[in-house]
Structure 1
Amino acid sequence: MSFRTDRFVGAELVPFPRRTPLAAASDAQLPVLIILHQESSTPGRVGNALRALGHHLDIRRPRFGDALPETLDRHAGAVIFGGPMSANDPDDYIRREIDWIEIPLREQRPFLGICLGAQMLAMQLGARVAPHADALTQIGYYPIRPTAAGHALCPAWPAQVYHWHREGFELPAGTELLAEGDDFPVQAFRAGNAFGVQFHPDVTYAMMHRWTTRGYDGFSAPGARQRHHHFADRAVYDAAERAWLDHFIDGWLARRPVLAQAAE
């Protein structure tokens, strides 16, 4: 199954709408679908933000046999998280997840891809995912620059955000670039109600300890920041990244299918 669309070309980008109070929201009791890629993975700070808004988490791991729903009618939205694998891997669960993204795109449900999840979204929309031409990585904090569209959508972006990736992706045709970077130009983009971010706003302090311990060999890669810089930079940049995430998640879930709005 593949999904290509030009319906987003020229789409007007407007700021996130004000979220309806949970007591009155039609999606208030619906869970958010969470797709993880390792047995020990957690939704981290994204999960905390969703729970704070009153949503339960429907956690599934297709890599270990969990099925994905055929519709998101019973979910408020969906998030695909990162992992050490590549969107280019031939594994069946990778192919199934990329194909599955057709569902939130078609149904115009809120979708968020983080790192690997963003690369899967880009691939579903026809873009190429590949390592940097000079084998550079981003492991640690790196600067990003919101575009005018990014500012219009969500005004307060952090100056630097946390990364852990070896591959990047092209901007899919017909989508909106929200934030850019230097070595990996596409850092955040939007396709209708679907968003992809190359960075990791989900990482908690405990997760950073685990990642920098278990992934210590990654620090020898070109461009990687050494472990002590991760924690020093977190002290400087994390408060802004956390505030941005809370604002983003709130506005992201407030987005509702265009067809459903028109019918009201």
Structure 2
Amino acid sequence: MRALCVCHDALSDPGYVGAALRDLGWQVDELVVVPEDRHHAPDVEPSFPDSAAYDLLVPLGAPWSAGVDDARIGRWLAPELRWLADAVAGGGAVFGICFGAQALARALGGTVTRSPSPEIGWVGVESDRPDLVPSGPWFQWHFDRFTVPPGAVELARNAAAPQAYRIGRSLGVQFHPEVTPAGIRRWVAGGGAAQARGLGLRPADLVADADRLAADARRRTETLVSAYLNEIFAC
């Protein structure tokens, strides 16, 4: 089985999700949309491969908005939305994470808007299916929220936003099951420290919490990935 993880920026990687897939025997390929030298000018023109060449698409998070940064992102967001919609319409499977979940929701008729309650840090969710989507805590870093697309089933939520939904063979989650302590350090160093301080958070605490919670976070991600593959992907 073959998965493509779409890393929208060079600071992100498949982390625990990629590791869980590899542990289950999957081949995991990676596509970086915006290279490091274009981080502050992300209007690039990548080429998205034929989705039928992969059993699973995993669009990851991004430092941009899937709902209000269209002009800044420019040439790649609309093609990605069509790519995701076409994959689902063709019976394919998508596991969208944060920006990826928002993009999938928008591609399928939902909306993405600024959230009145941005979230950074470790947050619990109210899950209707804790066997499928554990209640956390999950790491969050988002300023937007999505509406669940038509035909989807909301699986988890909190006071800030919907947190998980399923539609067909696809799953979208607002939180970051993939992120490792090293990934959080990259986000903090890559401009996230100012965002965290803007919400009254200490960047050093985010890193310390990531180290402290790493083993449990990885186990929750393994549970999520395995349950998704066994129940939603396999349907």
Scaled by the length of structure 1, the TM-score of the pair is 0.75
Report 1:198-209 matches (<5 A).
198-209=174-185
Residues 125, 46 of structure 1: alpha-carbon distance in 2 compared, 3 angstrom cutoff: same
Residues 216 and 62 of structure 1: CA distance in aligned 2, closer, same or farther (over 3 Å): closer
Aligned residue runs from structure 1 range 61-210, under 5 A: 61-63=32-34, 65-72=45-52, 74-88=53-67, 89-90=69-70, 91-133=74-116, 136-147=117-128, 150-151=129-130, 154=132, 157-184=134-161, 186-210=162-186
Structure number having the greater strand percentage: 2
Contact kept? 1:158, 1:244, Cα under 8 Å: no
RCO higher in 1 or 2 (8 Å CA, sep ≥ 6)? 1
Distance 1:200 1:171 in 2: 18
Report how far residue 75 of structure 1 moved.
1.6
Instruction: Supply the distance in 1 between the matched residues of 2:33 and 2:91 (Cα, whole angstroms).
Output: 22
Structure 1 runs not aligned, ≥5 long: 1-29, 259-264
Unaligned runs of 5+ in 2: 35-43
| Contact 1:80/1:112 (<8 A) preserved | yes
1:111, 1:193 within 8 Å by CA — same for their partners in 2? yes
Say if 1:71 and 1:115 are closer, same or farther in 2 by CA, change over 3 A. closer
How many residues of Structure 1 are paired with residues of Structure 2 in the alignment? 220
Cα distance per residue 1:12-45 (max 9 Å; x no partner)? xxxxxxxxxxxxxxxxxx3211111123432111
SS at match of 2:140: strand
The code of the aligned residue for 1:143 comes to G
Distance in 1, Cα, partners of 2:233 & 2:96: 17
- Partner letter of residue 120 of structure 2? I
Shift in Å at residue 237 of structure 1? 4.5
User: Helix, strand or coil for the counterpart of 1:46?
Assistant: helix
Equivalent position to 2:204, from 217, 228, 236: 228
Shift in CA distance, 62/227, structure 1 to aligned 2, threshold 3 Å: closer
Q: What secondary structure sits across from 2:19 in the alignment? A: helix
* Alpha-carbon separation, structure 2, partners of 1:245 and 1:76: 19
